[in-house]
């Protein structure tokens, strides 16, 4: 099974998207090793990054820890992001 390691065009336009995607792209190879990926679903006006798990990440028991790692990386790269939610 092949897992995409970068995203296609975003489903919405947001000025933070290029920086958010760049931060996520540094993590996608690690997600892909376990058959997973993540997609940006939304960035709220309050700066909450909403992600959707893809592939194996959706059912992974470690998804809470993975989300915390994603949040740390994204918030360091894009300080305007106030929180990260994943479903």
Would you list the domain boundaries of the chain? 38-87
Per the DSSP assignment, residues forming a β-bridge with 85 are: 50
Does domain 38-87 fall into CATH 3.30.300.130?
Answer: yes
* 41-85 tens-digit pLDDT: 999 999 999 999 999 888 888 888 899 999 999 999 999 999 999
Which range (5-9, 29-33, 55-59, 71-75) has the least confidence? 5-9
Residues 69, 76: contact at Cβ < 8 Å? no
Q: Which long-range contacts (CB under 8 A, 24 or more apart) does 82-85 make?
A: 82/46, 82/47, 82/48, 83/47, 83/48, 83/49, 84/48, 84/49, 84/51, 85/48, 85/49, 85/50, 85/51
DSSP state of 64: H
């Amino acid at each position: 099974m092949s897992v995409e390691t970068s995203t296609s065009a975003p489903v919405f336009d947001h000025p933070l998207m290029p920086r958010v995607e760049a931060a996520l792209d540094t993590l996608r190879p690690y997600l892909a090793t376990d058959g997973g990926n993540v997609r940006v679903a939304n960035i709220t006006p309050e700066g909450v990054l909403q992600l959707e798990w893809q592939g194996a990440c959706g059912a992974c028991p470690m998804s809470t820890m993975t989300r915390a790692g994603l949040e740390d990386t994204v918030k360091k790269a894009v300080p305007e992001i106030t929180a990260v939610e994943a479903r």
